Structure 1
């Protein structure tokens, strides 16, 4: 049998006048003020009657770890938000899930900004999160960064439903790219466009560069497939 973790109190959230104690899954106690949680979260507000002071000095147990709750509660207090650029990606993603789970609207914009910054290195994880929570504002951008990835790599990260949707997006996108490539190659053969040849070579090696080179390539042919959206 696994040993029960010994509880300790958060160094940041330990106010003596706190009227609510929240325990993380790893046994850290957060002494918080229910008014802040209720003001920033629909979930905590809806649960207010279950945690009234007259119910006794109870502890609310949450599934999240202490590192997640520490960041989450910082987003719910009247103070500067945490600098998420200093947060490692796995922890950032767990925080993002908690923000969605508890409907902490004040942190949604902060999470959106962070997601956009992580797209370059983690497009699949961002895409999976965006599809799960309907975050179109960065979901389509993430999808565009996955067009050159191996299908097997994609399948190991995306959920099954998102992967099925991604396959449809992938097939439609690459069919459009193939047609555009054939058209552009014919122009190279006919007019000997050296600049176009060099640009196409880069796009073939890294398909997402079609977006970067769009302004150049549209002088030669239509690129409607670049407007295909995932969400």
Structure 2
């Protein structure tokens, strides 16, 4: 095996070895002061090498948060995979400063591609409701059975109510034009509305961009009336847009749920 000594010249009196055989020399007093998950100094001899399950690249970042009187790394150059590996290690070894910085950095990756992994991390580790609230608009389309066993128990009822309002609006995304006397324009609108609904199901955040997904030409608006196709479409779409504007956040449902529980 090949060992590389990292921080060997900093007076470290505890030796850790990564899963890929890199040794880290860390000051025991710093670990006891800044972390809660590493073995205490009196449990480790000065000559003992403590194996850790994480790779050197993760530990190199993590141990930067365990040195007193040194600036914390900002993680600006860390990619998503590296960030999540670091966050899991920080939770495992209870390195509070690293946890805080990781959670802040995760908010730079809030998109459909990373939503599920961020949600799963936040749900597994208590105290990260801000991440769940932030990712909720992207994750609300998930089936309840997919989140029921990872969702914090205190959030299950609020999440169900939050998701229900999204489903109700989604159910209204059906073409409002009558099916009688079909013509090419009606068929085109049904196709466009169905395509918009599919886009929203794939990326729930798009429900807030309904006017762009279902674009209507204002100069074609005819007189209000059931027999005027444009008037019907405008009335239908604008009504759904108003419903979307009234949608409540997950956080509001959570606060209401806790207030109600407090008075029971």
TM-score (norm 1): 0.69
Following superposition, the deviation at residue 24 of structure 1 comes to 0.7
Q: How does 1:33-182 map to 2 (within 5 A)?
A: 33-44=27-38, 47-51=40-44, 55-77=45-67, 78-120=69-111, 121-134=113-126, 135-148=128-141, 161-162=149-150, 173=162, 175-180=164-169
Is the Cα contact below 8 Å between 1:183 and 1:221 reproduced in 2? no
After superposition, give the CA deviation of every residue in 1:59-102 in whole Å (9 maximum; x if it has no partner): 11111110111000111123222232211211211110010011
Partner of 2:261: none
Structure 2: tracts of 5 or more residues without a match: 179-191, 211-237, 255-264
- Number of residue-to-residue matches in the alignment: 206
Distance 1:211 1:34 in 2: 52
Deviation at 1:181, TM superposition (A): 5.6
Q: Give how far 1:219 is off.
A: 7.9
TM-score, normalised with respect to structure 2: 0.62
Residues in 1 aligned to 2:167 and 2:37: alpha-carbon distance in whole angstroms: 48
Q: 1:32 to 1:187 in 2, by over 3 A?
A: same
> Matches of 1:56 and 1:126 in 2, distance apart?
38
Contact 2:61 2:86 in 1 (8 A): yes
Distance in 2 of aligned mates of 1:143 and 1:219: 19
Among candidates 5, 8, 25, match of residue 4 of structure 2: 8
Measure the CA separation in 1 of the matches of 2:100 and 2:156.
Answer: 29
User: Hey, what does 1:220 align to over in structure 2?
Assistant: 242
SS in 2 for 1:15: helix
Taking a change above 3 Å as real, the CA distance of residues 87 and 227 of structure 1, as seen in their structure-2 partners, is same
SS at match of 1:122: helix
